[in-house]
Structure 1
Amino acid sequence: MPTIAILAQGAMGAGIARRLVERGATVLTSLAGRSAASARRAAEAGMRDATPAELAAADIFLSIVPPAEAPATASLLAPALAAAPRRAVYADCNAISPETAREVAASVAPSGAVFVDAGIIGGPPRPDGYTPVLYVSGEAAGRLLALNAYGLDVRVTPGGIGAASALKMSYAGITKGLVALSSAMMLAAARGGAAEGLRAELERSQPQLLAWFQRMVPPMYDKAYRWVGEMEEIAEFTGPQAAGIYEAIAEFYRGMAADRAGPQQQVAALEAFLGRK
């Protein structure tokens, strides 16, 4: 049974940890400097708080942190990986651009650890059996297929380091981009007094699209702050032709995060448009 280190203890990291623990794997983490909420999620998931030396002895490292923290996390762990008794597999599972993934791989390389580029598509594993897909790429990608025996859905995507990240960026750019665009237009319609008319027209001509909005927009409120960095990574990934689009979407999510933490006026307007309030 493999020993897996998961960094850190957010909804996705804890969800994946819980699934692995349920299937018999040992999952380590570090709670040094973490919040009480993180410690609670780790405990509920069955993650074990470990010392740096214990972490270094893990077979597989899954980095599941906010995109902006991915490079620093790899650099911080590199000395421990170098001192480990075996060559661990370090999988960066964050929503980062292919270029950032290659930078992370370069920082891990001197440690002797094997690097795998990875991207998670979907939400955290649920008790009903739902599991997101973990796409992996690079020469050592097949090393993570062993986790399928512990309840994950790992799939190798063709290409070297950066291919899995490119897939994640492309998919998130479509789905989270549409969430931002639809939300922005709902809010604009509400400000312009056209909310009722727009909703009626969507019900008439785009019922499937409206149903998608009703399913995908509400979960965004609590995630917007995390999506800012992801949109900035996507802006880098798309290059000059579309970078401005995703930089603007990052600003939209930054504004939604501030509204969620404060007046919640935009949240209320979207809830009203979607018929949830």
Structure 2
Amino acid sequence: MKTIAVIAPGAMGSAVALRLTGEGARVLTALDGRSEATRARAAAAGMEAAGDEALAGADIVLSIVPPAEAEALARRLSPHLAAAARKPVYVDANAVSPETVRRIGGIVAATGTPFLDGAIIGLPPKPGTPGPRVYVSGDDPAPAMALRELGLDLRVCPGGVGAASSLKMSYAGINKGLTALAALMVLAADRAGAGEALLAELAENEPQLLARFAKGLPDMVPKAYRWAPEMREIAGFLGQDEAGRQVFAGNARLYERLSGDDGTEDIAALLRFAQTAAGRG
């Protein structure tokens, strides 16, 4: 039986864990300081609470945390990884830039632990569906192939550490960047009194986009706090492209506003637009 450490049991992590336990894997996670809701979600997925030493002793460590926490997790586990007699393979599957993932890879590699860059593209897996694509890149992806055998749609992204994260940054930049653009324009139209006219024009000439926004804007609202740091990682990924960096730094500020008290009225306007748009479908 393979033992997989999935950190942490958020919406994606717990869904991935449920897929793994359903295929016979033992899945460990960290629950210290977590809420009762998180503990219940982990239990429902068949995850077992474990300390850092036990996590570092798994066959595979799968890091699925908010971008801002990815490096801190690697640093926290590094002493235990260094002390482990049998090294796991550490897969960082977070929405971080190639620069960040290479820094994380350096922390892990210093412990003698094999490291793979990972990227999850798609929604959390549900029963009866293949689930998201899980890409890995690095010197030797073979040890991660066990995840494919355990039900994940695992794919090798050609290239070294940074290749999978580059794919994630590019895809998320288009996907979540388009949602940010829609939110900005919907709010601007609403402030100017042109919201209904914008909706009617989209319904007539861009019905597929309108249907996407009707679903995507409400879906974004509870995730905005996580998308903000991801936008900053994408800004870093754009490197010397000053215009691109400015766009995604602005997207980060938008998502930060929408996730705070200052965004309450804007959220209400976006949800009104989405509800009306859904009614046109």
TM-score for both structures, normalised by structure 1: 0.96
Classify the secondary structure of the residue corresponding to 2:259.
helix
- Do 2:130 and 2:152's aligned partners in 1 also have CA atoms closer than 8 Å? no
Matched to 2:98, the amino acid is P
2: CA distance, partners of 1:59 / 1:181: 42
Q: How does 1:194-233 map to 2 (within 5 A)?
A: 194-233=194-233
1: CA distance, partners of 2:52 / 2:273: 49
Mind listing any 5+ residue stretches in structure 2 that lack a counterpart? Answer: none
Q: Do residues 59 (structure 1) and 59 (structure 2) align?
A: yes
What is the aligned-residue identity percentage? 52
- Do 1:142 and 1:156's aligned partners in 2 also have CA atoms closer than 8 Å? no
Q: Do residues 254 (structure 1) and 263 (structure 2) align?
A: no
Report runs of 4+ in structure 1 exceeding 6 Å deviation: none
Matched to 2:199, the amino acid is R
1: CA distance, partners of 2:220 / 2:260: 13
Matched to 2:66, the amino acid is P
The alpha carbon displacement at 1:147 in A equals 1.0
Q: Do residues 147 (structure 1) and 137 (structure 2) align?
A: no
- Do 1:117 and 1:141's aligned partners in 2 also have CA atoms closer than 8 Å? no
Match of 1:269 in 2: 269
- Do 2:121 and 2:168's aligned partners in 1 also have CA atoms closer than 8 Å? yes
Classify the secondary structure of the residue corresponding to 1:112.
coil
Bigger drift between 230-239 and 38-47 goes to 38-47
Total equivalences in the alignment = 275
- Do 1:179 and 1:216's aligned partners in 2 also have CA atoms closer than 8 Å? yes
2: CA distance, partners of 1:10 / 1:70: 14
Match of 1:93 in 2: 93
Match of 1:46 in 2: 46
Match of 1:27 in 2: 27
- Do 1:28 and 1:55's aligned partners in 2 also have CA atoms closer than 8 Å? yes
The alpha carbon displacement at 1:3 in A equals 0.2
Bigger drift between 7-16 and 209-218 goes to 209-218
Deviations 1:45-81 (A, max 9, x none): 1100013332222000000111011111001101111
1: CA distance, partners of 2:263 / 2:73: 34
Mind listing any 5+ residue stretches in structure 1 that lack a counterpart? Answer: none
Q: Do residues 192 (structure 1) and 192 (structure 2) align?
A: yes
1: CA distance, partners of 2:203 / 2:187: 17
TM-score for both structures, normalised by structure 2: 0.94
